[in-house]
Amino acid sequence: MTARSKEIKQFTDAAYGLFIHFGLYAIPGGIWQGKRAPHGSEWIMRNLEIPLAQYRKLAEEFDPKQLSARWYVRKAKEWGMKYLVLTAKHHDGFALFNTAVSDYSVMHTPYGRDIVREFADACAEEGLPFGIYYSQMQDWEHPDGDGNNFDYKKEEKIFSRYFYEKALPQVKELLTNYGDVFLMWFDTPYDMPQDLCRELADTVHALQPRCLINGRIGYGLGDYRQMADNSIPTLPYHGAWEVPMTLNSSWGYHRADLTCHTPATVIGKLIEVGSKGGNVLLNVSPDERGLISELSIRTLDEVGAWISRNAESIYGTLPAPVFPYVTRFGKVGAGRDGSLYLYVEHHPGFPHRVSLTGLVSRVRRATLLCNGTELRVAQSYEIARDEHRCYVFLPETPPDTPVTVIRLETDGAPVTQTL
């Protein structure tokens, strides 16, 4: 048991969180003087080597009048998300909070209000665990921060000077002034000295012992494993882990990419990650007004409605047992109570049944999660081939879309065959 076992279980049970990338980069929105930033728009300053003197002028027009922290927090809950992570300071070094460390912050803009405070208060009032993203290594404003080698000379940088002048003091401010912080989400540790990573982790634990730390603190010092962006591990992974995921190609708002995953795609990723025991932290990208696209709202509304019909198969699941064959109907999940969940994507042809080979345990009951209907089950064992077969018969028309979830209750914990 670690000091944060309870919080880690809360995290793994949560399964689904909202990531919000917001900052000065929402103003150019990926386009600078007609040039398109490659990849994420939040990297525009570094990728297009925009001089700090020009980029920081964006602060003079930063005024997201339609930003409502309460709207995002309430929608996150409606969408079925169980925690929220907001970028407090991204790689560009601009702080969305009232920091005594630097004038490069939202307090020195026409908006003039502490955005981290607004989200922290809304999360506390709505009962949604609040997480803070902080880019601890990269900082394109501070002369000793990593990443800006076009305004500053890399060979003249002393990283520890930036670390003690800006990063560590700002992390202390975030963990002192904004109430309970559910998790600190660090990013791009690169080759940051291990002793400074440890000092950062120790500081978080000293100020808020129950605050989780993600894996990008570096050197295995986190409470959970942070997978690569939009990357789902091939095999089930026992332990707490999370995949940060975008709805399109950019973390920050990008004028040239207003696409959005379909609800079926998002649900498919939630199921795949959950069936391997992980969390999805799904990102939205407010524009310079503080708003996200109608398309992304519709997508997340639909996903949230599906989750509400199938909640027990999303929250508090475990990595599913391994079956001998890839299940053609879709994925398999596992509940903490020993239930199995069959996520039926492709409604098989007539007879409408799903086939599960390799389940040794006897099925006591099969039901549709969306409406509680009990389903007929047929199990057989072919001795000559030592093969266990299980068929579950479905109604003619798919009871749910885009995925129908069947709960299987077995005699005892489910036992499977492997080849």
| Rounded least distance, CB 308 to ligand GLC, Å | 27
Sole window of 9-17, 36-44, 164-172, 217-225 interacting with ligand GLC (rule: CB under 6 A): 36-44
Based on CB atoms, which residue is closest to ligand GLC, 7 or 187? 187
CA atoms within 13 A on the CB side of 213: 28
Query: By the 8 A CB rule, do 30 and 44 touch?
Result: yes
Sheet holding 225-226, edge to edge: 212-213, 183-186, 130-134, 84-89, 16-20, 279-284, 241-245, 225-226
Among 78, 195, 199, 229, binds ligand GLC (CB under 6 A): 229
| Rounded least distance, CB 244 to ligand GLC, Å | 4
- Secondary structure (DSSP) of 234-273: SS---S-EEEEE-SSS-SS--TT------HHHHHHHHHHH
Interface with ligand GLC, residue 42, by CB under 6 A: yes
Based on CB atoms, which residue is closest to ligand GLC, 221 or 375? 221
- Measured distance CA(413)–CA(419) in Å, rounded: 20
Based on CB atoms, which residue is closest to ligand GLC, 90 or 347? 90
Interface with ligand GLC, residue 68, by CB under 6 A: no
Number of residues that bind ligand GLC (CB under 6 A): 9
- Tokens 């003619």 -> residue: 396
Query: By the 8 A CB rule, do 117 and 168 touch?
Result: no
Q: How many residues does the chain have?
A: 419
Interface with ligand GLC, residue 118, by CB under 6 A: no
Query: Of 204, 189, 199, 226, which is closest to residue 11 (Cα–Cα)?
Result: 226
| Rounded least distance, CB 82 to ligand GLC, Å | 18
Sole window of 38-46, 66-74, 95-103, 205-213 interacting with ligand GLC (rule: CB under 6 A): 38-46
Interface with ligand GLC, residue 242, by CB under 6 A: no
Q: Which residues of 366-381 are buried (b: 16+ CB within 10 A; e: fewer)?
A: bbbbbeeeebebeeee
Interface with ligand GLC, residue 244, by CB under 6 A: yes
| Rounded least distance, CB 331 to ligand GLC, Å | 24
Restricting to residues 167-226, which ones interact with ligand GLC according to CB under 6 A? Answer: 187-188
Please, what's the largest Cα pairwise distance for the chain? 77
Q: Which amino acid is at 72?
A: Y
Among 29, 30, 40, 414, binds ligand GLC (CB under 6 A): 40
Give me the torsion for CA of 336, 74, 132, 102, rounded to 10°. 180
| Rounded least distance, CB 91 to ligand GLC, Å | 6
Restricting to residues 250-309, which ones interact with ligand GLC according to CB under 6 A? Answer: 251
Based on CB atoms, which residue is closest to ligand GLC, 146 or 302? 146
Interacting residues toward ligand GLC by CB under 6 A:
21, 40, 42-43, 187-188, 229, 244, 251
